[in-house]
A and B are shown apart, each in its own frame.
Chain A
Amino acid sequence: QKEVEQDPGPLSVPEGAIVSLNCTYSNSAFQYFMWYRQYSRKGPELLMYTYSSGNKEDGRFTAQVDKSSKYISLFIRDSQPSDSATYLCAMTINQAGTALIFGKGTTLSVSS
């Protein structure tokens, strides 16, 4: 079983839809959870950052972490064509000698 599982999609939605992106993980020691957004032929950029369990909201984006279920989500409200990108979940235990583990990424397309 891979450490981080993420459905690669692709996911196509109309403008204005609510989008739900998800990842599951197997290592219960993960404590730091992130979502990166990557536009085509560009490097990823950090979108959301959450420590431990709970919700975090930033504008149209909400990140949720459920450590009991080993499940994280990213919700996008009122989706826009500019949200069309690949979304990568990432997580770490943050100990010396470790690095971020990424999911495979979900490709999202929002049509106008």
Chain B
Amino acid sequence: DGGITQSPKYLFRKEGQNVTLSCEQNLNHDAMYWYRQDPGQGLRLIYYSQIVNDFQKGDIAEGYSVSREKKESFPLTVTSAQKNPTAFYLCASSSTPGGAGELFFGEGSRLTVL
């Protein structure tokens, strides 16, 4: 089955630790995205990549980093510099760079900082 796989589904982290969230897609999509979702805040764009080895900052990139070494993979690292990292993180992909194509989302990763 084609889709997006995010792991882990739940993650607990101590303050000061970096953590990496995995996102893999087998849809052969060029564009991939990371969003953060907080209660009452909707989806806010962290980073996006429209082609391998290239990515752009979204609205809330501070404290996060990404890489795009392979078309199917777009991991997100939440660094210790992120002041409020507890949130629901969603990865998405699209066949159409620029945002007009349908976004396919993973099931999300819920990060809790203890």
Contacts and interface: CB of A to CB of B under 8 A. Distances in A.
Interface of A: 6, 8, 31-32, 34, 36, 41-46, 49, 88, 90, 92-105
Interface in B19-56: 33, 35, 40-45, 48, 50, 56
B61 interface: no
Nearest to A44: B105
Contacts, number: 68
B99 A32 contact: yes
Given A43-B90, A98-B98, A104 B41 contact: yes
B103 to A, nearest CB: 6
B40 A8 contact: yes
Interface string B70-114: 000000000000000000001010001111101101111010000
Contact of B103 (A95, A100, A104): A100
Nearest to A3: B59
